[in-house]
């Protein structure tokens, strides 16, 4: 049995029928343990937490496929992926799971979403661990009008072509690696969950499951001052794990400025790439376990 299949066997598929649509997830089945909700990055999916899962058996771990990602439902035709809507997707998932409170774990976009959840609904969050993001991407106020015009024009003129057929999983992995720096093994885990058969029948190839609307330009980004105001509203103890070297959109200066806004925050910098939680789970998991303090103090 390969390492990947060993880690995958610790999780099982579940479906959550929420008021906003069907959300799929991977769960380790330990419902008697402290709840831990994991949120993945942009165009990733629940499989990004497969490498960490064997190291987090002390928790009731649920890793979501956010709407439009993995095997979850897409937004209804005519609707968009407004960033604040993710807050309600997360809270709806917690409600469907029967969780009044939970620990949050987010990577990249998932960490940005979790920041908003922790700020907007502090009564639902025990502790919050962020990997490679704290708050959403901010924008310059002077560019807001230009960005809005471009985003609206892109949507009004969009005509999505039939999806290109991908011959096999390795070709899909090559495509994923062309737009993101990660190990091939990590990319394969994410890609495998993001592929659907192109049509019925053998050897027909694959297409991406993820919603093409996720790649559209953002209408509005809040300013950095507004982002820091949101971070200040986070009440839960917060751990930020950041990679060294830092990505250009989350520089050490930006990271440290946001960290200074937290009431109870700790920063740990780890040498590695953006997907360090997948590539170094044996390093990241002990940091998470120590932070979440699984002694039973955090109960559902």
Query: Could you tell me the fold of the domain covering 3-137+222-292?
Result: Rossmann fold (3.40.50)
**Pair of tokens at residue 25:** 């997830």
What is the per-residue DSSP string for the chain?
--HHHHHHTT-EEEEEEETTEEEEEEE---TTS-EEEEE--TT--GGGGTTTGGG-TTSEEEEE--TTSTTSPPPPTT----TTHHHHHHHHHHHHHT-SSEEEEEETHHHHHHHHHHHH-GGGEEEEEEES-SSPPP--GGGHHHHHHHHHHHHHT--PPPPPPB-SHHHHHHHHHHTS---HHHHHHHHHHTEEESSSSTT--EEE-S-GGGGSPPS----HHHHHHHHHT--S-EEEEEEESPPTTS-HHHHHHHHTT-SSEEEEEEES-TTHHHH-HHHHHHHHHHHHT-SS-S--
pLDDT of residue 203: 65
Mean pLDDT within 60-77: 97
- The whole-number average pLDDT for the span 27-56 is 96
Confidence of residue 158 (pLDDT cuts 50, 70, 90): confident
Stretch 107-132: mean pLDDT, rounded? 98
Q: What is the pLDDT of residue 124?
A: 98
Instruction: Let me know: does 220 contact 75? Beta carbons within 8 Å.
Output: no
Q: What is the pLDDT of residue 90?
A: 98
Question: Are the CB atoms for 39 and 118 separated by under 8 Å?
Answer: no
- Which residues lie below 8 Å from residue 274, measured CB to CB, with a gap of 6+? 108, 132, 180, 181, 182, 243, 247
Whether the predicted pLDDT of 74 surpasses 50: yes
Give pLDDT, residue 273: 96
- Dump pLDDT digits (tens) for 198-243: 876 556 899 999 999 999 999 999 999 999 999 999 999 999 999 9
Q: How high is the mean pLDDT of the chain?
A: 92
Q: Kindly list the catalytic residues.
A: 108
Per-residue pLDDT at 140 exceeds 60: yes
Q: Give the mean pLDDT of 166-181.
A: 93
Q: Can you give the pLDDT at residue 131?
A: 98
Range 238-258 average pLDDT: 97
Burial of 129 (0-12, 13-18, 19+ CB in 10 A): buried
Residue 13 has pLDDT above 50, yes or no: yes
Question: Does pLDDT of 182 surpass 60?
Answer: yes
Question: Which of the four pLDDT bands, split at 50, 70 and 90, describes residue 296?
Answer: very low
What CA–CA distance (Å, rounded) separates 190 from 176? Answer: 9
Residue 6 has what pLDDT? 40
Judged by average pLDDT, the poorest of 187-191, 258-262, 291-295 is 291-295
Q: For residue 163, what pLDDT is reported? A: 80
* pLDDT for residue 162: 76
Tell me, what's the pLDDT at 294? Answer: 53
Percentage of residues in the chain having pLDDT higher than 90: 87
All structural domains of the chain with their residue ranges: 3-137+222-292
Distance (Å, whole) CA 132 – CA 137: 12
Q: Decide if pLDDT at 137 tops 80.
A: yes
According to the model, what pLDDT value does residue 164 have? Answer: 85
pTM here is 0.94
Mean pLDDT of all residues in 182-196: 96
């Amino acid at each position: 049995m390969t390492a990947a299949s060993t880690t995958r066997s610790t999780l099982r598929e579940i479906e959550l029928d929420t008021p906003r649509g069907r959300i799929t997830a991977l769960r380790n089945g330990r419902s008697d343990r402290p709840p831990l909700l994991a949120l993945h990055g942009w165009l990733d999916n629940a499989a990004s937490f497969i490498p960490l899962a064997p190291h987090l058996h002390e928790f009731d771990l649920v890793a979501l496929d956010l709407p439009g990602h993995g095997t979850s439902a897409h937004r209804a035709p005519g609707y968009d992926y407004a960033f604040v809507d993710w807050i309600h997707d997360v809270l709806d998932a917690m409600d469907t799971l029967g969780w009044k409170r939970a620990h949050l774990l987010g990577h990249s976009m998932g960490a940005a979403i979790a920041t908003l959840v922790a700020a907007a609904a502090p009564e639902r969050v025990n502790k919050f661990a962020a990997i490679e993001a704290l708050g959403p991407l901010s924008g310059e106020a002077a560019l807001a009008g230009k960005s809005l015009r471009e985003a609206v024009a892109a949507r009004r003129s969009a005509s999505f072509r039939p999806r290109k057929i991908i011959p096999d999983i390795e070709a899909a992995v090559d495509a994923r690696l062309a737009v993101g720096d990660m190990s091939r093994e990590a990319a394969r885990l994410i890609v495998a969950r993001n592929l659907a058969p192109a049509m019925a029948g053998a050897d027909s190839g694959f297409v991406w499951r993820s919603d093409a609307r996720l790649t559209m330009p953002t209408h509005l980004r809040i300013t950095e001052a507004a982002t820091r105001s949101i971070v200040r509203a986070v009440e839960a103890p917060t751990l930020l794990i950041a990679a060294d070297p830092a990505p250009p959109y989350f520089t050490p200066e930006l990271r440290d400025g946001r960290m200074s806004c937290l009431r109870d925050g700790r920063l740990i910098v780890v040498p590695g790439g953006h997907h360090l939680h997948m590539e170094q789970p044996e390093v990241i998991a002990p940091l998470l376990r120590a932070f979440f303090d699984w002694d039973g103090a955090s109960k559902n």
